[in-house]
Amino acid sequence: MSTRDYIEKDYYKALGVAKDASQADIKKAYRKLARKYHPDANTADAKAEERFKEVSEAYDVISDASKRKEYDEARTLFGAGGFRVPSGPGRGAGGAGGNATFDLNDLLGQMGQRGGGGGTGGGGGLGDLLGGLFGGGGRGGGRSAQVPRKGTDLEAELTLGFADSVEGVTSPLRLTMPAPCTTCMGTGAKPGTTPRVCPECSGTGHVSRGAGGGFAFDEPCRECRGQGLIIDDPCPTCAGTGRSFSERSLTVRIPPGVRDGQRIRIKGKGGAGERGGPAGDLVVTVHVGRHPIFGRTGDNLTVTVPVTFPEAALGATIPVPTLNGTPVSFKVPPGTPGGRTMRVRGKGVPRKDGTRGDLLVTLEVAVPQKLSGKAKDALETFAAQASEDPRERLREAAGSA
C-alpha cells in the first residue's frame, strides 16, 4: 500500500461502511461484498474483479487497527493541508480544509514508520509520495516518529595504484551525496507553496491510453512527467528538483589484496541514521591500475624476468624484483628452458590469515642482439661443439604421424 493509495482511496466507501464503523461491521460488510464480487462467481467479469480487488485492499487496511490508524491520519493530514486532491468517484472529500500549515516533515515522520526495518523502506514513505523525486538516495527525516532507521548506504569509486591494492592503503575520498534541498525540505516547491496532485493522472504518475480492441497502454503521465505531483512554483534553490548535493571528505582504509572491480563495504560511513538509528555503510568500488612489470593471478604476483642463454644453460643466481622494491636472490638451475615459471614463496599478495601468496617468476631467455667479434667466435665454437639437436623430437613426431 503506498502513501498515494492512502491519499486517494476511500476504503470506507469501498466497503460501504461509516468512518467510525466497528470491526464487526467492517467484517460483515467485507464478507458480503467479497461473496458478491468473488471471481469464482463472476467469471470473465472485469468490473467485478476490479471491485473484488478494491474491497480486498480496503479490508486489508481498515481491518488492521494500526493500518487503519495510519490511514485515518494520512487522510486527515492531506485533508487539512495543501495537497488539493481532486474529487472524483471513489475518493473521499477528506477533512474540510482549513488553512492549517502543512508540515511535510511531520507527515513524513508518520508515513516513514511504515517502512519497517531496513533503511530503504519498501512501503510508503517520502520517496513513494513524491514519486522518486530524490532518486534512491536521501529521505527527509521525521521529527515526530520514534522508530530508529539505519542511514542509507552510499556508493563511491576509488582508483588505486597496483602496489596500494596489494599492500592496502589509507586513502582520502571525497563523496558527493544527494540530500533533500534544505530550502524546500525536498518537495521542490517554493517555501509557502506545496506541490499539488496531478489532475491528469490523479497522482498515479501514469495514464492509460486506449489502443483499440480492448487494449490499453500504460504510459508515464506527460503532465507531471510521471511524478504524480505538479509544482507550480519551483523552489529557487534547487529549481524544483527537491535535491541538493553535499560534499564530504573522509578517509577510507582499503585492506590489502583488493582486486579490480571489488566492492568494499565500510561500516558506518554512509548516510546518517535517523532517530538514533545507525549510520548506513559506504560501498566503495575499487579500480586497480596496471603495473609496468607485475601482474596478479589470485593470491600470486607474476613477473617475467629475462635471463641470458649462458645463465639458463649454466645456472646462475640472479636478482628478481619484488613489489616492495627489495630484490630477492633467485637461483636459476642449470639447463632451465625458456618460459619456465618458478616460485618465490611468500612474496605475493597478503591473505586474510596473515600469510602471503607467492611470486611466480617466468624466465625468458634473451637472445643477444649485438655480438662482438669474440663473443661471436665463442658462440660459433659452441655451435660446433654442441651435440644436442633441439628439433630432434619435432622431426620424430612429424615422421611418425
**What is the contact surface with Zn ion in residues (CB under 5 A)?**
181, 183-184, 198, 200-201, 221, 223-224, 235, 237-238
Taking the complex as a whole, the smallest distance from the CB of residue 237 to Zn ion amounts, in Å, to 4
Taking the complex as a whole, the smallest distance from the CB of residue 221 to Zn ion amounts, in Å, to 3
Taking the complex as a whole, the smallest distance from the CB of residue 200 to Zn ion amounts, in Å, to 4
Taking the complex as a whole, the smallest distance from the CB of residue 18 to Zn ion amounts, in Å, to 32
Pairing mode, if any, of strands 300-308 and 359-366? Answer: parallel
Q: Which of 171, 140, 134, 141 is nearest to 156 (CA)?
A: 171
Taking the complex as a whole, the smallest distance from the CB of residue 126 to Zn ion amounts, in Å, to 14
How many Cβ atoms are within 10 Å of 96's Cβ, its own excluded?
7
CA distance 97 to 282: 44
Taking the complex as a whole, the smallest distance from the CB of residue 288 to Zn ion amounts, in Å, to 39
In angstroms, what CA-CA distances link 335 with 56, 202, 310, 313, 314? 84, 84, 9, 4, 6
Q: Does residue 250 contact residue 123 with C-beta atoms inside 8 Å?
A: no
Taking the complex as a whole, the smallest distance from the CB of residue 139 to Zn ion amounts, in Å, to 15
Taking the complex as a whole, the smallest distance from the CB of residue 80 to Zn ion amounts, in Å, to 23
Query: Judged by CB, which is closer to Zn ion: 77, or 224?
Result: 224
CA distance 29 to 40: 19
Taking the complex as a whole, the smallest distance from the CB of residue 142 to Zn ion amounts, in Å, to 18
Query: Judged by CB, which is closer to Zn ion: 152, or 244?
Result: 244
Provide the CB-side half-sphere exposure for 322 (13 A, CA). 18
Query: Judged by CB, which is closer to Zn ion: 244, or 336?
Result: 244
Query: Judged by CB, which is closer to Zn ion: 245, or 382?
Result: 245
The DSSP bridge partners found for residue 272 are none
Query: Judged by CB, which is closer to Zn ion: 198, or 254?
Result: 198
Q: Which of 199, 219, 198, 197 is nearest to 208 (CA)?
A: 219
CA distance 265 to 102: 39
Query: Judged by CB, which is closer to Zn ion: 186, or 357?
Result: 186
Q: Which of 350, 330, 354, 352 is nearest to 340 (CA)?
A: 330
Query: Judged by CB, which is closer to Zn ion: 26, or 184?
Result: 184
Query: Judged by CB, which is closer to Zn ion: 193, or 237?
Result: 237
| One-letter identity of residue 313 | A
Taking the complex as a whole, the smallest distance from the CB of residue 130 to Zn ion amounts, in Å, to 12
In angstroms, what CA-CA distances link 193 with 8, 83, 126? 21, 10, 17
CA distance 263 to 268: 15
CA distance 36 to 51: 10
Dihedral angle sign, alpha carbons of residues 82, 85, 91, 97: positive
**DSSP code per residue over 285-312:** EEEE---SS-EEETTEEEEEEEEEHHHH
Query: Judged by CB, which is closer to Zn ion: 106, or 200?
Result: 200
Query: Judged by CB, which is closer to Zn ion: 111, or 221?
Result: 221
